[in-house]
Structure 1
Amino acid sequence: MDVVWLVVFAALLVGYFALEGFDLGAGLLLVGRSQERRDRTVAAMAPFVLANEVWLVAVAGVLFGAFPLLEGEVIFALYPFVVAMLLGWVLRDAGLWFRRRIEGRAWRAWWDLMISLGSLVLAAGWGMAIGRLAGLPWIAGLGLGALTTALFAFHGRTFLAWRESRGTGRGLALSALAAAAPVVVLLTAAAPHLLDNAAPAATLNVLSLMLVPFAPVMVGAQVWVWRTFRPVKGVDRIPSFF
């Protein structure tokens, strides 16, 4: 059962990087663009943000439920990153919600900058956090943060091309794999440590009963979002609240 939950945890974390990676990447690309282009970029990514963030909530739930012995270890090791990334998360989401609350170029430009800054903190923070968990020195962690930022930006650019019918689904899938590659390497290296710190079998069995009804809802929500906001020729979908 512990192996099953390791696979579930890995699938959720890889899914988060592959999906939230293009949101963060699109946010990074707002800098230096015209107001119209920034509006279209936010409109393209906005419908996917909340659905993608659910994956992170699920990752945290599985980590603390299936691998409770690691909770204190992870929080202690990543405390500075957790605080910085939470602030980046709040800043990015605040920008998405506030940018259209008042009309005016200066107001919108300010919140677009906050979206980019929050996306940068999250993208780089994830890379540095992975480096810290892997026991890499700080300089290597900084390099990994730069790598994840570049991969997310590439994934965001590929997503925008797909969203605007200028790219293919295959290209988007490949960029998703690239965005998730660092965490795949980490999970492969950390698998024995995770299995050694898994919860007792009885706890894992109870968690399995909780997962069964939740998983179809989570997957169904993703399918609905992607089907609803897929590229449609001749149709321009721009949510009014973004």
Structure 2
Amino acid sequence: MIFTVYGLAAAIVAGCTLFFRRRSRFLAVIFPLWFVLAVVIDQTGVFPVAGTWVAGDFLRFVMFGALMSLPIIGYAALPVLAPEARAALSAAPLWGLAGLQIYRIGGVAFFFALQDGLMPAVLALTAGILDVFIAVSALGVAYLLSRGLGHRTAIAWNLIGLTDLMIAILLVAASIFGLLSLSPAPSAIGQSPFVLISLFQLPLAVIAHIEMLRRLLGAPPGGDAQGA
């Protein structure tokens, strides 16, 4: 399963690097660097013990959350810090952004973690089922958008995708803050391959969903309903 998650992430990096190679050197370099950093941290691990919280995990969680947030903050800052990169991202077709999410099939890792007793059922089933749903429906949504159809469907699909990610984050946060008693504790989220999922695939999914919604809803800047 680890090799599957790594393979999916590597395929994403290769595809995005090729797409942005002539459109934005900044993004063409950022994707491989982002991936390598996520792999290094995945191999190191964040939470040392699976199934329970131990001393120091709260601070690790804060740092983990900050690392997850950095790419999303960078995306929000692109119009100011890297207008060229912002324009290149806006040139990515909506159907491509939708099809990209097929990598969420890696969410089956949550089912394996549940089977091994490493993840609480509420987190594993919610994240696993919704991830797989987004993955298997991604090509259908991409096809509709490539034909200039399905905008309302795409909006609903993106909202479901974001809800999936937010539920997972909130469940882990509620557990470590003691607001929700989960057994086992979802500390395996800080071990391989879930660190790679959390630091690379998850922020990328958030960015893709937000970018699609921004353009589907006609939000500025850039008038980006292009590529629909």
Q: Same fold (TM over 0.5)?
A: no
Look at both structures and tell me which one has the larger radius of gyration over its CA atoms: 1
TM-score (norm 1): 0.30
TM-score (norm 2): 0.32
Structure that is richer in helix per residue: 1
